[in-house]
Copies of this chain bind each other. A is one copy, B any other.
Amino acid sequence: MSPPFDRVALIGIGLIGSSLARVLRREGLARHIAVHSRSEATRTKVRELGLADSLHATPEAAVAGADLVVICTPLSAYGDIAAAIAPHLKAGAILTDVGSVKQSVIRDVGPLVPAGVHLVPGHPVAGTEHSGPEAGFADLFRNRWCILTPPPGTDETAVNRVADMWRRCGMNVEIMEARHHDQVMAMTSHLPHLIAYTIVGTATDLEGHIDADVIKFAAGGFRDFTRIAASDPVMWRDIFLNNREAVLEMLGRLTEDLAALQRAIRWGEGEKLQELFTRTRAIRRSLIEAKQA
């Protein structure tokens, strides 16, 4: 059986891009994997790791002749990349991405896509706190969700081909509106990261000997936050800047709830605390039942 894609171009090859390269190869999903990284050090690393069939210093060279192009860079690079590759995209090619915000892709990339090329924005919801091509692994996507947010009128065959690729990478695929995606992710991913970054920052600003002790005695909960707050700084800067409205809305809700809890602690309202904590414990069970724990 011939591979579903003849030539796949990966634009950017960090944690997600390199994991995709590995699983594309393992599952035989591409005859040729072309990789672009603008960094020579990264290209050398990718060569050593044997992740690419061809390596390219420019995105336009990588996409020449590709039937599938996957943008795997931080969101702030999307506009320039789209402008650079647009004239070089093959007729009928599919253009997708792996970014954590989806409305901004439609806004920044959509207008630059030539007629006859199919834009299928995508988001494999998977990751670790590590970055770079050496951090990727083929099983990163297994049993996780991939969300596709094709704008209305997108070619169905193109959507199905992208969905099929992610399924063969081990993912469950869900199709939804970009706006809904951005709201759900603001709550489940962007806000947790924002809070983790903040709390780790707050802790290490403490004066006296407390900051050293914060590291020493991190096992009581702080540790988990430091792991989340170790995620790629540029990628996350771009997520917050590109999903600003939804993040600020969810943050507003959180701040209200936090104020209510603060008041309950100040006034010693134990029942309120226990009621909330009992409710959140039940959520964990839902997650375990949904096999997402």
Chain A contact residues, CB within 8 Å of chain B:
76, 100, 125-127, 129, 144-145, 147, 174, 180, 183-185, 187-206, 209-210, 213-231, 233-234, 236-238, 240-241, 244, 247-248, 250-251, 253-255, 257-258, 261-262, 265-266, 268, 270, 273-274, 276-281, 283-287, 290, 292-293
Contact = CB atoms under 8 A, between A and B. Distances in A.
Give 6 closest A-B pairs by Cβ, nearest first: A189-B220, A230-B284, A233-B277, A192-B221, A229-B280, A188-B222
Given A198-B257, A206-B187, A281 B233 contact: yes
Contact of A278 (B191, B226, B233): B233
A292 B227 CA distance: 11
A281 B229 contact: yes
Contacts of A279: 201, 204
A198 B254 contact: yes
A233 B284 contact: no
Contacts of A274: 233-234, 237
The complex is assembled from copies of this chain, and their number is 2
A265 B240 contact: yes
A265 to B, nearest CB: 5
B229 A292 contact: no
Contacts of A185: 217, 220
Contact of A219 (B126, B244, B253): B126
Contacts of A205: 253, 257
A280 B201 contact: yes
A125 B220 CA distance: 6
Contacts of A237: 270, 273-274, 277
A250 B202 contact: yes
A218 B257 contact: no
A271 B269 CA distance: 41
Contacts of A230: 280-281, 283-285
Contacts of A290: 215-216, 218
A145 B286 CA distance: 32
